[in-house]
Amino acid sequence: MIDQIEIHGFHPHAKLYIVSYLSQGLLVKGYLAIPRGEGPFPLLIYCRGGIRNVGMTKLAWVDTYVSLGWMVFAPFYRGNRGGEGWEDFGGDDRYDVMEAIPIMENHPLVNKKQIHIFGFSRGAIPAIFTAIRFPIIASVAIWGGVTDMVQVYEERVDLRRMLKRVIGGTPGKKPDEYYRRSPLFFAEELSCPVLIIHGKRDALVDVSHSMRLAEALETNHKPYTIWIHEKQGHLFSILEQKKTKKKMLDWMKTIGASGYC
């Protein structure tokens, strides 16, 4: 880690920093939240959704996790908040997550048996690929997760212009780029348990993204748990969101304690 600057007034029982580190030679940034105390603490890598200012890391979510006794690292992805480079929706910006893993693994306050990763919406892409690459990841959870980028292109007409600009063309012109951003087709490479959370009424990322991932994990005999919330959309109600976050962290702790991976 190159630098960390404390942000005061975040939480009475935790410290919040903006950290800078290198990813593929680029200076990138993220949040690091640490509960007050001696530790070691379980660590959650939080991969937010959206792109650039749309879907930027939610401090309220960081607050929830750190309030429950977790360290949280939340990369902004390249090109954001003063970081170098250009965010590219699950392409090379996945390395902004991957490059942070060795840094956090060696942090003196991290419980190395309880390192978990969570991806919301398009954050599922770097979350899953990071879990594939690093055996130290005890579990991966995705919530309203994107798993097939061609499906996104077909269903989200409103995103096509952005996708063509960021990825470099349509699925027909750049099939390899859409494929490498689609964790659905790499399910067989996962070794740690997977938690899939999705609202059945999700109008932004169709629930079939999660159902297809579950089928792929099942086919490849990979351990997974799936929670489909019948009455929720992409963003759950405040009460249901709070309950699901705690339930997710409890699931992660149980997985880590079991020493599955």
Q: Catalytic amino acids?
A: 121, 234
Q: Which two tokens stand for residue 115?
A: 């390192």
Residue listed under structure tokens 């005890």: 138
Task: Report the candidate in 95, 101, 102, 87 with the shortest Cα–Cα distance to residue 44.
Answer: 101
Task: Report the candidate in 163, 101, 89, 172 with the shortest Cα–Cα distance to residue 132.
Answer: 101
Residue listed under structure tokens 């979510």: 61
Q: Where are the alpha helices (DSSP H) in 194-236?
A: 208-219
Q: Which amino acid is at 127?
A: A
Q: Which two tokens stand for residue 207?
A: 């629930």
Residue listed under structure tokens 């999700």: 202
The per-residue b/e assignment along 77-115, b for 16 or more CB within 10 angstroms, e otherwise, is bbbbeebebebbbbbbbbbbbbbbbebbeebeebbeebb
